[in-house]
Amino acid sequence: MNTLAHFNGLDQNLDDIRRKFLSTYFEATIKKETQVVCLADTDGPEWAYLRMKPGAPLVKVLTKDVEIVRDFPNVGWINFNKGVMFIQRNPARQWQVGMCRANASVWDHGNTTVDTTHSIAVAAFGYQKPASIKEALELIRKRKHTGVALNRNYALINNATAISLYRKRMPIASFEQSKFFFNHNCTWFKPEIETDFQGEYHEFFKK
């Protein structure tokens, strides 16, 4: 079992804890409750000051009682505030273990990098329910969503000119007159799209 006090089979001293987890977000179980927390400060190697929820006051807990469930979320598209963000892990050359600016890049709609916040971390660690193309289009058209994650690899984004299908951070198709048309040099994605969205491929993609 990994805790702040004992991680990856090794007891952690104060320097270890601060270097790996200070100002980072991670999923932890504390007193049988699992949530995404942020290590804000320490009081020696035995005590940690955690922010349990976005904007909440700090809580002092024993480092041995902070059981680390996941130190980094799954990468890819997430839904956030009626839009989407793309989470990517930076090359593992950093000391930090939890999610933070040093080891994670967060793109708003896949284009502009933004700082990792507690709310974004909660969404990133949370369960992302897959959406069908039909469901995503309805959310964008009728409920004014600017984007919808279909799964961690794909998202629909309402750009200024059209609704685009993104594979990771790359736009590969545009929605026009009830069909998706593959962008130039992206037709080689067809077999993959047909497999991943086989129930909707013939309905929404131009033959």
Distance of CA 136 to the CA centre of its chain: 18
Query: Domain spans of the chain?
Result: 6-70, 76-117, 133-204
DSSP state of 56: P
User: pTM for the full model?
Assistant: 0.90
**What tens-digit pLDDT sequence spans the chain (207 residues)?**
899 999 999 999 999 999 999 999 999 999 999 999 999 999 999 999 999 999 899 999 999 999 999 999 999 999 999 999 999 998 755 678 899 988 899 998 867 888 889 999 999 999 988 999 999 999 998 888 999 999 999 999 998 788 999 999 999 999 988 899 999 889 899 999 999 998 898 899 876
Rounded to an integer, what distance in angstroms lies between the CA atom of residue 168 and that of residue 157?
12
Q: Which two tokens stand for residue 187?
A: 């037709």
